[in-house]
C-alpha cells in the first residue's frame, strides 16, 4: 500500500525528532547506558542520572523522560550508571557508608571515573556536566556535589538527603524518617570535603509532602546544608550569610495535567549579586516518586510538575567558570 506523500513526510519528521540512540556503556563490570543525542557535531552537556533502589538505568530513563527531553534543550548526553545487586542487594547507591562519602574513594570515585570515560568517548562540554538522582541516587548526587565540585556544575536531588546524614544502615533508616544531623554542621563538613576543589554549584531539590520513605524534612535539610556549604565557598571559608536557606522568592502553581498536583517553588539567591543558586520544588500530596515522571518507569507521579524539564532548565544557568556562581571570578 502506498502512503500519501504528506503522511510519509510526517512519519519521517517524527522519526527525526527522536533520532538519538540509547546505547550500552559497560564500565567496571556495570551495565550502564548512555543516551547519545541526535546532533553530535559539537560539544554538548552531560547529565549523570542516578537511579534509586530496585531501579536500573533503563527503568530510570523511562521514568524521567530525560532522553526525550534531551533534544528539546539542544542536545544533551545522559549517562545512566548502574548500581548492581552485587554492590547492594536492593541496587541502592551506598550513600550511608563512610567509604562512599569522600573524594578519591568508593562510589564517588567510580562515578567520577565513569564521567571521564564518557568524556573520552564522546564530545562533551566539560564545563556543563550535571548530576541528577532519585532517592538513594539523589543522596549520592549530594555527595558528588561535595566531593567533585570541579566536575559537576549543578545537581538535582529528588527525594534525597543531606551530606553525611548517616554512616551506617541503622543511622540511614533513622535519617530517612527523621532527618540527619544539623544541616549547618553537615554543610561545613561538605565544604571541608570539597578541599582545594571548592566551587559553588547549582542545587535543585524536589520532594513530595507525603513522602513516607524519605520524609519531607530531608528536602529542607538538603537546602539548609547546601546554603551553608555554598556560603562558605562564596566567601572562601567564612560564613557571611551571602546565601541562606531563607527563600528570596516563591511561586506557586498546579501541574498542567488533568488532576495535576499543586506545588511551591522556592528560589534562593545570593545577596551580593542576586544570582539564584538553589531552588526547592515542593509537590503537594506526592509520595516517594519522581514528579511529572512517566508511568512506564517505577516510582513516578505523572500528576506532579515536570521535574525533569525544570531541573534541566535550571542546569542551563550553570557552567564551570561562570561568573554567575564561581566566587573566584
DSSP 235-273: TTT----SS-SS-SEEEEEE-SSTTPPEEEEEEEE-TTT
- Backbone φ and ψ for 101, nearest 5 degrees, come out as -125, 15
Q: Residue 261: name the closest of 314, 306, 214 by CA.
A: 306
Q: Residue 242: name the closest of 205, 200, 271 by CA.
A: 271
Q: Cell 550553570, residue?
A: 318
From first CA to last CA, the distance across the chain in angstroms is 64
Pick the catalytic residue from 41, 86, 135, 171: 135
Q: What's the Cα-to-Cα distance from 126 to each of 36, 46, 49, 56, rounded to whole Å?
A: 16, 8, 16, 25
Answer for the pair 314, 202: CB distance below 8 angstroms, yes or no.
Answer: yes
Q: Which residues pair with 132 in a beta bridge?
A: 49, 156
Distance, in Å, from the CA atom of 64 to the CA atom of 291, rounded to the nearest integer, reads 9
For 213, counting Cβ atoms within 10 Å of its Cβ (0-12 exposed, 13-18 middle, 19+ buried), the class is middle
153 belongs to the catalytic site: no
- Which residues are tagged catalytic? 135
Amino acid at each position: 500500500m502506498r502512503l500519501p506523500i504528506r503522511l510519509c513526510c510526517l512519519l519521517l519528521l517524527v522519526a527525526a525528532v527522536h533520532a538519538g540512540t540509547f546505547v550500552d556503556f559497560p564500565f567496571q563490570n556495570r551495565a550502564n547506558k548512555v543516551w547519545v543525542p541526535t546532533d553530535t557535531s559539537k560539544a554538548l552537556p552531560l547529565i549523570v542520572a542516578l537511579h534509586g533502589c530496585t531501579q536500573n538505568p533503563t527503568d530510570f530513563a523511562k521514568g524521567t523522560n530525560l532522553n526525550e527531553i534531551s533534544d528539546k534543550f539542544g542536545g544533551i548526553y545522559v549517562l545512566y550508571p548502574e548500581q548492581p545487586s552485587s554492590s547492594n542487594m536492593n541496587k541502592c547507591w551506598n550513600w550511608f557508608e563512610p567509604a562512599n562519602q569522600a573524594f578519591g574513594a568508593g562510589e564517588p570515585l567510580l562515578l567520577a571515573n565513569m564521567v571521564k570515560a564518557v568524556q573520552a568517548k564522546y564530545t562533551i562540554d566539560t564545563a556543563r556536566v550535571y548530576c541528577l538522582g532519585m532517592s538513594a541516587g539523589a543522596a549520592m548526587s549530594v555527595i558528588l556535589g561535595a566531593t567533585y565540585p570541579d566536575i559537576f556544575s549543578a545537581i538535582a536531588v529528588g527525594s534525597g538527603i543531606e551530606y553525611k546524614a548517616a554512616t551506617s544502615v541503622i543511622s540511614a533508616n533513622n535519617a530517612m524518617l527523621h532527618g540527619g544531623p544539623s544541616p549547618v554542621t553537615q554543610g561545613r563538613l561538605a565544604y571541608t570535603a570539597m578541599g582545594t576543589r571548592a566551587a559553588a554549584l547549582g542545587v535543585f531539590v524536589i520532594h513530595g509532602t507525603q513522602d513516607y520513605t524519605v520524609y519531607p524534612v530531608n528536602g529542607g535539610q538538603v537546602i539548609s546544608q547546601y546554603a551553608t556549604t555554598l556560603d562558605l565557598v562564596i566567601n572562601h571559608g567564612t560564613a557571611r550569610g551571602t546565601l541562606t536557606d531563607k527563600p528570596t522568592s516563591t511561586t506557586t502553581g498546579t501541574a498542567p495535567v488533568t488532576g495535576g498536583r499543586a506545588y511551591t517553588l522556592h528560589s534562593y539567591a545570593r545577596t551580593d549579586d542576586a544570582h539564584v543558586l538553589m531552588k526547592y520544588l515542593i509537590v503537594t500530596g506526592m509520595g516517594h516518586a519522581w514528579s511529572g515522571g512517566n508511568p512506564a518507569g517505577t516510582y513516578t507521579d505523572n500528576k506532579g510538575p515536570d521535574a525533569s524539564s525544570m531541573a534541566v532548565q535550571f542546569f542551563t544557568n550553570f557552567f564551570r567558570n561562570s561568573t554567575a556562581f564561581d566566587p573566584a571570578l
